[in-house]
């Protein structure tokens, strides 16, 4: 099934000039980049995006970090894009990430873990809509 999913290259990825490598990997894996924008997110925007994590111990660290520098937000489209993107990213904690995954290759720790990806069809729909109007997705 062709799906769309939201991907974010986090501040540690943009700061280390990893945008090209990460986007190349997604294209090599057969995804289309259906939308893409480099953005400096405000604390409010990040708090809204990660609202489901509100109240968890890492929420403040997460939102401060994600608003600390520019990110790249993207819509990836392809066969089983939601699960396949999660496999390509690897486990949230790079210590647990499989060889060859983006987080194994590039992530520094569970917070600075280089990429985000939607974890379900409902999340993908919400997260894509959070950043992109339908008219900006091609
Ligand atoms: P992400 O896929 O962007 O979704 C939520 C983020 O919270 C996650 O990646 C991690 O980078 C971050 N995070 C920080 N600490 C933790 C933690 N202890 N457990 C889960 N996620 C964490």
Query: What one-character-per-residue DSSP string does 67-122 give?
Result: TSS-EEEEEEEEETHHHHHHHHH--SSGGGPPTTSHHHHH--SSSS-SEEE--SHH
Question: What is the per-residue pLDDT across 96-120, written as a single tens digit (0 to 9) for each?
Answer: 999 999 999 999 999 999 999 999 9
Beta pairing class for 71-79 and 115-117: unpaired
- The torsion angles phi and psi of 112, rounded to 5 degrees, stand at -85, 70
Supply the range of the domain harboring residue 104: 2-136
pLDDT band at 73 (very low <50, low <70, confident <90, very high): very high
Residue whose Cα lies nearest atom 2 of ligand 1: it is 116
| C-beta of 123 in contact with ligand 1 (< 6 A) | no
113 lines ligand 1 (CB under 6 A): yes
pLDDT attached to residue 19: 99
Rounded to the nearest angstrom, the distance between the alpha carbon of 82 and the centre of ligand 1 is 17
How many domains does the structure of the chain reveal? Answer: 1
Longest dimension (CA), the chain: 39
* pLDDT, the chain, mean: 98
The CATH number of whichever domain residue 129 belongs to comes to 3.30.70.141
pLDDT value of residue 108:
96
| Mean pLDDT, range 28-41, rounded to an integer | 98
* Global pTM value: 0.98
CA of 135 to the centre of ligand 1 (A): 30
Residue in the block written with tokens 């190349």: 24
Q: What is the mean pLDDT of residues 13-24?
A: 98
How many angstroms does the Cα of residue 79 sit away from the middle of ligand 1? 26
Query: Is residue 62 lining ligand 1, measured as CB closer than 6 Å?
Result: yes
Q: Is 110 in the pocket of ligand 1 (CB under 6 A)?
A: yes
Q: What percent of the chain has pLDDT over 90?
A: 100
Give the rounded percent of residues in the chain with a pLDDT score beyond 70: 100
Average pLDDT over residues 23-34: 98
The predicted pLDDT at position 109 comes to 97
Catalytic positions: 116
């Amino acid at each position: 099934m062709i799906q769309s999913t939201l991907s974010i290259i986090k501040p540690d990825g943009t700061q280390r000039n990893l945008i090209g490598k990460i986007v190349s990997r997604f294209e090599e894996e057969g995804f289309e980049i259906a939308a893409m924008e480099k953005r400096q997110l405000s604390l409010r925007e990040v708090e809204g995006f990660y609202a489901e994590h509100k109240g968890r111990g890492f929420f403040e660290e997460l939102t401060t970090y994600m608003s600390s520098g520019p990110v790249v937000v993207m819509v990836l489209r392809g066969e089983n894009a939601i699960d396949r993107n999660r496999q390509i990213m690897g486990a949230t904690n790079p210590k647990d990430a499989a060889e060859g995954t983006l987080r194994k290759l590039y992530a520094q720790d569970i917070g600075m873990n280089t990429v985000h990806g939607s974890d379900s069809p409902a999340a993908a729909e919400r997260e894509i809509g959070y950043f992109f109007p339908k008219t900006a997705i091609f």
